[in-house]
């Protein structure tokens, strides 16, 4: 493989496609810059959303400011590897294709810069703190940008294009970047409670195959993102998540543990993951046409497929 070039995502959420030929005509809003994410999501029927999976169109997603490695360019497309999304598919990171217009050459963050990470469900990026009507981009939960300066209620950040913009201080937290130490919940409990605490904020959010943003998560993207909030990076896909972490017996489950479900009543391939929420309940992003929900494990329709549980926090 030739030398990999560092690039950075310059749209609010970039969808990572299986191949350049994968998008359909109706996916055009998701391929643009600026990305028409809400337009795309609202235009799709349940069958359209199912087809993202059934036709193997989408692999994952990327948030604004995420660095990737460019492995190949083909016309208006770039094949990327995503170091933050671990996978057995490639040791350098999750592979897939992104429109060239949704990537910028990585300019490098200012030396020693902290990062401003969105902890609101969504947050706006502003051009000017003196005029909050100058909204540039609506950002997803966990979007992270290098900090240039902080003054009162505003934080100046470095954008992927090499410019400057502003975020509201009460919508972000300052970090030193990943990996971070596991974060406790608001009451000081262990990090598993923080995972569940954040997960419950997204109850009712529609499922999206390949989704890795607060505009829509798939099952493993939901588990990945809630753990990332808690300072723990786990593999991107459920099948890989099920092979790592600490094995947990059913009677020893604690909030934040991951529950995996496999075909053939637990004996086949892993196809789903949920987060144990305590008291015999699970929170998960179930499938296309449904929303993130809290369910009782005893009556959950896939209860017989529960095959293994893992702890990462």
Element holding 192 (H helix, E strand): helix 191-199
272 is catalytic: yes
Measure the CA–CA gap between 227 and 195, rounded to whole angstroms.
Answer: 6
Q: Are 192 and 268 in contact (CB under 8 A)?
A: no
Kindly calculate the radius of gyration of the chain based on its CA atoms and give it in whole angstroms. Answer: 19
- Catalytic residue, chosen from 219, 227, 306, 307, is 219
Q: Are 244 and 94 in contact (CB under 8 A)?
A: no
Element holding 55 (H helix, E strand): none
Indicate the DSSP class of residue 291. Answer: B
Overall residue count recorded for the chain in this entry = 313
Measure the CA–CA gap between 308 and 313, rounded to whole angstroms.
Answer: 16
Tokens describing residue 210: 């390949």
With tokens 């902080």, the residue in question is 150
193 is catalytic: no
- Catalytic residue, chosen from 158, 193, 227, 272, is 272
Measure the CA–CA gap between 62 and 66, rounded to whole angstroms.
Answer: 7
Measure the CA–CA gap between 234 and 243, rounded to whole angstroms.
Answer: 11
Element holding 222 (H helix, E strand): helix 219-229
- Catalytic residue, chosen from 193, 284, 306, 307, is 284
Q: Are 209 and 279 in contact (CB under 8 A)?
A: no
307 is catalytic: no
Indicate the DSSP class of residue 19. Answer: S
Catalytic sites, residue numbers: 219, 272, 284
């Amino acid at each position: 493989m030739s030398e990999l070039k560092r690039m950075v995502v310059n749209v609010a959420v970039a969808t990572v496609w299986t191949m350049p030929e994968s998008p359909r005509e109706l996916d055009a809003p998701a391929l643009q810059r600026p990305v028409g994410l809400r337009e795309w999501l609202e235009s799709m029927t349940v069958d359209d959303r199912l087809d993202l999976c059934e036709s193997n169109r989408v692999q994952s997603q990327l948030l604004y400011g995420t660095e990737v490695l460019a492995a190949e360019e083909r016309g208006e497309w770039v094949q990327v590897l995503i170091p933050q999304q671990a996978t057995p598919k490639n040791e350098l990171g999750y592979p897939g294709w992104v429109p060239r217009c949704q990537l910028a050459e990585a300019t490098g963050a200012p030396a020693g810069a902290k990062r401003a990470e969105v902890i609101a469900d969504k947050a706006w990026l502003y051009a000017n703190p003196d005029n909050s009507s100058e909204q540039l981009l609506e950002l997803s939960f966990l979007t992270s940008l290098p900090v240039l300066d902080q003054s009162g209620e505003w934080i100046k950040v470095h954008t992927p294009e090499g410019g400057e913009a502003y975020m509201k201080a009460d919508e972000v937290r300052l970090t030193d970047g990943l990996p971070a130490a596991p974060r406790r919940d608001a009451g000081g409990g262990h990090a598993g409670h923080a995972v569940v605490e954040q997960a419950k904020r997204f109850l009712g959010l529609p499922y999206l195959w390949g989704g890795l943003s607060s505009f829509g998560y798939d099952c493993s993207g939901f588990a990945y993102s809630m753990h990332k909030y808690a300072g723990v990076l786990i593999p991107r896909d459920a099948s890989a998540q099920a092979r790592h972490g600490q094995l947990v017996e059913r009677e020893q489950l604690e909030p934040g543990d991951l529950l995996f479900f496999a075909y053939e009543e637990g004996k086949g391939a892993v196809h789903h993951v949920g987060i144990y929420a305590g008291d015999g309940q699970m929170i998960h992003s179930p499938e296309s046409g449904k929303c993130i929900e809290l369910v009782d494990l005893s009556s959950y329709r896939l209860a017989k497929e529960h095959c293994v549980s893992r702890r990462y926090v």
